[in-house]
């Protein structure tokens, strides 16, 4: 049976590998929920539907800090710029946090 060599430079040995993966897993969940929200809004999904209402409720707090940056979407073209902005900011924040974890765990 082959042995696995873990050196001080191996991400697992540094401890940052796991934390970085968790950061990106959380980011993936957030982005997936926001993309789903964006698609449902764009297609004009019925907000009274239980599934649609659940998605809107879960993502409301994620989008709230970005409301008001751009003018509100018109009813004829319900494109939410706040959702796009949230996806960009959360992605940048996750990459910055992962990089910080990498730097702090480097010996």
CA-to-CA separations, 24 to 9, 35, 47, 91, 104, in angstroms, rounded? 21, 16, 29, 9, 17
Domain boundaries, the chain: 14-105
Tell me, yes or no, if the pTM score tops 0.85.
Answer: no
Local confidence pLDDT in tens for the 107 residues of the chain:
555 555 555 555 455 568 888 999 999 999 999 999 999 998 988 999 999 999 999 999 999 999 888 877 665 556 788 999 999 999 999 999 999 988 888 76
Whether 45 and 52 have beta carbons less than 8 Å apart is answered as yes
């Amino acid at each position: 049976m082959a042995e696995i060599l873990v050196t001080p430079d191996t991400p697992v040995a540094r401890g940052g590998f796991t934390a970085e993966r968790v950061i990106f897993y959380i980011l993936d969940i957030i982005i997936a929920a926001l993309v789903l929200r964006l698609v449902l809004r764009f297609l004009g999904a019925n907000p009274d539907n239980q599934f649609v209402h659940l998605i809107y409720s879960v993502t409301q707090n994620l989008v709230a800090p970005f409301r008001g940056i751009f003018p509100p979407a018109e009813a004829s073209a319900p494109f939410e710029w706040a959702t796009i902005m949230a996806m960009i900011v959360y992605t940048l924040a996750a990459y910055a946090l992962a990089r910080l974890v990498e730097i702090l765990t480097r010996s």
